[in-house]
Chain A
Amino acid sequence: MVIVPLRLCVRRPGRVNPRGPEEGLLMTITVPSELEIVEQTVDIVARYCLACGLSVRAVRFNLRVALSEALANAIVYGNRLDPGKRVHVTLRRHGEGVAVSVQDQGSGFDPRCIPDPRHPDYLERSEGRGLLLIKELVDHLAFNEKGNSVCMTLRRA
């Protein structure tokens, strides 16, 4: 286990080489409910995604935006900035690319109940675009039943 400054707890099982062909768990990160730590978390995951063979473009833009939004949602709406709660990030390698999961300790939500912010009635709302950006920028998106965990898959080019 490696402890990274700023209270991020990064665990790397070490059984899967991101540059190799194996599939499986690459890394877990435990993140405190602080928005200031989002960028550092994204940087760590981005380095591993590059090592897994994702394109620079997919990592620099798609992953960065989607993961930043997912983390901000988890911290603000899921954990409600509660310092006693954590967000758990998991990075897995599989045949087509990588899957990044973000799970908070909140009560969850139903993503089907989030209105499309592109609709004219909602276009001038100041919030509600994070989920749309995630949907648009990852190759596959899934939620757990409770709605407090999102799994984003990005494929290798």
Chain B
Amino acid sequence: MTFTVSTAPNGVTIVSVDGQLIVANRNELKDKVLKALEAGESKFVLDFLSTEYIDSSGLGVLVSVSKKIREAGGELRLAGLNEDLRMLFELTKLDTLFKICDKADEAVQSF
């Protein structure tokens, strides 16, 4: 499992999640996003193109970082969710809470 942080030409911070986002590693993602937020970044895309699975605690950390970003005046987009992951968002109604794009490029350009 790795979280890769990069910056798009328009200044959007992209965090790619490779593998699983689960109870065992969720705080690592939270720490990376909050660190970027504290450094002054405000526009974030979380790219799940290479993510196999997100458990309920992973969903919870997404809710948590979303609130932190919003409270700091920033914005968050999610991208690259496969069919299974989208279903998890729909079942929990979190699809109503997040802005979800098909691809990371699309999400980056949407800011």
List chain A positions with a Cβ less than 8 A from chain B: 35-36, 60-61, 64-65, 68-69, 72, 76, 117-118, 123-130, 132-133, 136-137
20 more contacts with CB within 8 A, not counting A72-B23, A133-B88, are: A65-B53, A68-B55, A72-B55, A118-B92, A118-B93, A123-B94, A124-B63, A124-B67, A124-B97, A126-B64, A128-B60, A129-B56, A129-B59, A130-B56, A132-B91, A132-B92, A133-B56, A133-B91, A136-B91, A137-B91
Cβ of B56 and Cβ of A69 under 8 Å apart? yes
Cβ of B23 and Cβ of A76 under 8 Å apart? yes
Cβ of B92 and Cβ of A133 under 8 Å apart? yes
Cβ of A123 and Cβ of B97 under 8 Å apart? yes
Cβ of B88 and Cβ of A65 under 8 Å apart? yes
A69 to B54, CA, bound (A): 11
Tell me if B5 counts as interface (CB < 8 A to partner A).
Answer: no
Query: With A118-B92, A118-B93, A132-B92 known to touch, is A126 a contact of B55 (CB < 8 Å)?
Result: no
Q: Which residue of B23, B56, B94 is within 8 Å of A35 (Cβ)?
A: B23
A92 to B60, CA, bound (A): 32
A111 to B75, CA, bound (A): 35
| A38 CB, nearest partner CB in chain B, Å | 8
Cβ of A61 and Cβ of B92 under 8 Å apart? no
Tell me if B49 counts as interface (CB < 8 A to partner A).
Answer: no
Cβ of B53 and Cβ of A129 under 8 Å apart? no
Query: With A126-B63, A127-B60 known to touch, is A65 a contact of B24 (CB < 8 Å)?
Result: no
| A47 CB, nearest partner CB in chain B, Å | 17
A91 to B53, CA, bound (A): 23
Q: Chain B residues with Cβ under 8 A from A76's Cβ? A: 23
Q: Chain B residues with Cβ under 8 A from A64's Cβ? A: 53
Smallest CB-CB separation from B60: which chain A residue?
A: A126
A77 to B96, CA, bound (A): 28
A76 to B61, CA, bound (A): 16
Smallest CB-CB separation from B83: which chain A residue?
A: A61
